């Protein structure tokens, strides 16, 4: 009955309770929806990074990480490809030849990273081909094609069909030149990536720089489930322990490749929870204030309850339950509204193109699909309950300090 009294007491002053309820609901909605936007943005960024840039993990010659020279290639890449492809979690392995280069048109020139790829295996490792918005992906019949990013194309003032000149260092150290036709332009919504990366056929790059076409600077591995990136990378490490010890190969998962992104994502997660925590603390003060008013209004009633034999634990729990019901009512409404909004924008996406340039500069998409796992709502619920319990302490102590003999005569 104590719990029943507490629940009914919430609705004694409907106006006041509704104000608290609505303010709690709005506050939590703001916090939850912001979290979902950040989480969705983060998930999209990770997905984009893995599928366009880093893959789940990569293999390199350790020397290549110190100096990105064509000489620092992977010895016997086919050995690694064969073993890795045996793993059931692995979708595909792409062998790439990479080189830095200058790329120029009649209008402009700039530095670039040339990726010599096998178009058929690359299509299984990245979704570069999906990002092409002008022109097309590589065809088997193409003659010296090149695909570049949107930002790079803009820098060069280049359009599909234009001739681009690459100047690259050859294996003998001389600078060699090659002409390529712009086959397609991609947009991954990551300005950093789109402004520097260019793709040609591996055999074309190998021929240009005078190296065997089976040479590999980098092996990029894609998995069916990107969540397993760290685990499978570790598993692959265990397959090549002696090669790693002899510094013939190094294996890095996407977090190790893009440390900045990894740190950014971790900090976003902490920031989101911090934000929600701030909101709950602010709400807690409002609830404490309301419950203090409640206690002061009911001094006589509380005195009577003490007089007739309601012990301190019950009085404390009565106030605590009332605080809990008040907080949970607003919290649950806020959560329901959040769920509805998140479900809607998860389907249609939230267009933030007004701040698009800034977001693309950091590799974030302007269309965000908010996401919040079910466990998040449980965690928020726990936080609401904890906040309510803590907020009830001070008003409950105030109530317990009442002298029943004086209180009943208020």
Judged by the rule CB under 8 A, the positions of this chain that interact with another protein are 1, 4-5, 8-9, 12, 300-301, 304-312, 314, 403-405, 408-409
| Residue 396 CB, nearest approach to another protein (Å) | 16
10 Å Cβ neighbour count for 238?
A: 8
What does the alpha-carbon distance between residue 138 and residue 21 come to, in Å, rounded to a whole number? 58
Q: State the Cα–Cα distance between residues 101 and 108, nearest whole angstrom.
A: 14
C-beta closer to another protein: residue 77 or 303: 303
CB of 327 to another protein, least distance (A): 19
CB of 307 or CB of 343, closer to another protein: 307
With respect to another protein, which residue has the nearer C-beta, 16 or 314? 314
For residue 387, the minimal CB distance to another protein (Å) is 25
Taking the complex as a whole, how short is the minimal distance between the CB of residue 404 and another protein, in angstroms? 5
Burial class (CB in 10 A: 0-12, 13-18, 19+), 71: middle
In the complex, the smallest distance separating the C-beta of residue 297 from another protein, rounded to whole angstroms, is: 11
| Least distance in angstroms from the C-beta of 399 to another protein | 14
142 contacts 199 by C-beta, under 8 angstroms: no
* Least distance between another protein and beta carbon 409 (Å): 7
CA–CA distance, 168 with 160 (Å, rounded to integer): 22
Nearer to another protein, 17 or 126 (CB): 17
Q: Which CB atom, from 108 or from 403, has the smaller least distance to another protein?
A: 403
- The residues that bridge with 169 in the sheet, in sequence order, are 175
Burial class (CB in 10 A: 0-12, 13-18, 19+), 396: buried
CA separation for the pair 120, 143 (Å, rounded)? 16
Signed CA dihedral, 378, 382, 383, 388: sign only? positive
- State which residue, 234 or 312, has the beta carbon closest to another protein: 312
Nearest to 146 by CA among 106, 104, 176: 104
Task: Please provide the DSSP assignment of 300-321 as one string.
Answer: HHHHHHHHHT--HHHHHHHHHH
| Torsion, Cα of 237, 99, 85, 53 (10° steps) | 80
Residue 115 main-chain phi, psi, to 5 deg: -105, 110
| Closest CB 300 distance from another protein, rounded Å | 6
Q: Which residue number, 12 or 234, has a Cβ lying nearer to another protein?
A: 12
13 vs 269, which CB is nearer to another protein?
A: 13
DSSP state of 74: B
């Amino acid at each position: 009955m104590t719990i029943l009294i507490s629940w009914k007491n919430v609705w004694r002053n409907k106006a006041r309770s509704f104000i608290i309820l609505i303010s709690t609901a709005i506050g939590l909605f703001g916090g939850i929806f912001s979290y979902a936007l950040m989480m969705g943005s983060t998930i999209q960024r990770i997905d984009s990074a893995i599928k366009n840039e880093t893959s789940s993990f990569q293999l390199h010659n350790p020397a290549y990480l110190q100096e990105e020279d064509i000489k620092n290639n992977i010895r016997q890449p086919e050995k690694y490809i064969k073993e890795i492809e045996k793993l059931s979690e692995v979708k595909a392995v792409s062998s790439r030849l990479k080189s830095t280069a200058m790329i120029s048109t009649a209008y402009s020139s700039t530095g670039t990273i040339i990726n010599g790829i096998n178009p058929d295996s690359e299509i299984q490792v990245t979704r570069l081909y999906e990002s092409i918005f002008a022109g097309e992906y590589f065809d088997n019949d193409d003659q010296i094609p090149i695909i570049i990013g949107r930002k790079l194309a803009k820098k060069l003032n280049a359009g599909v069909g234009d001739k681009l000149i690459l100047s690259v260092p050859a294996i003998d150290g001389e600078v060699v030149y090659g002409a390529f036709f712009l086959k397609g332009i991609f947009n991954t919504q990551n300005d950093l990536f789109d402004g520097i990366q260019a793709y040609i056929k591996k055999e074309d790059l190998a021929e240009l720089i005078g190296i065997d076409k089976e040479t590999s600077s980098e092996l990029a591995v894609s998995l069916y489930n990107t969540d397993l990136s760290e685990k499978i990378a570790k598993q692959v490490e265990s397959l090549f322990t002696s090669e790693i010890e002899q510094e013939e190969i190094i294996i890095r998962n996407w977090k190790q490749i893009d440390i900045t992104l990894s740190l950014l994502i971790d900090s976003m997660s902490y920031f989101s929870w911090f934000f929600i925590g701030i909101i709950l603390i602010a709400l807690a003060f409002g609830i404490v204030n309301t419950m203090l008013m409640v206690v002061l209004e009911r001094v006589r009633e509380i005195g009577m309850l003490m007089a007739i034999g309601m012990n301190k634990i019950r009085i404390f729990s009565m106030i605590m339950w009332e605080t809990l019901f008040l907080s949970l009512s607003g919290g649950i409404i806020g959560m329901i509204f959040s769920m509805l909004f998140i479900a809607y924008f998860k389907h249609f996406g939230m267009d933030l193109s007004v701040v698009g340039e800034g977001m693309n500069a950091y590799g974030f998409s302007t269309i965000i699909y908010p996401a919040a796992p079910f466990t998040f709502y449980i965690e928020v619920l726990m936080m609401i309950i904890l906040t309510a319990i803590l907020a009830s302490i001070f008003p409950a102590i105030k109530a317990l300090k009442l002298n029943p003999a004086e209180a009943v005569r208020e």
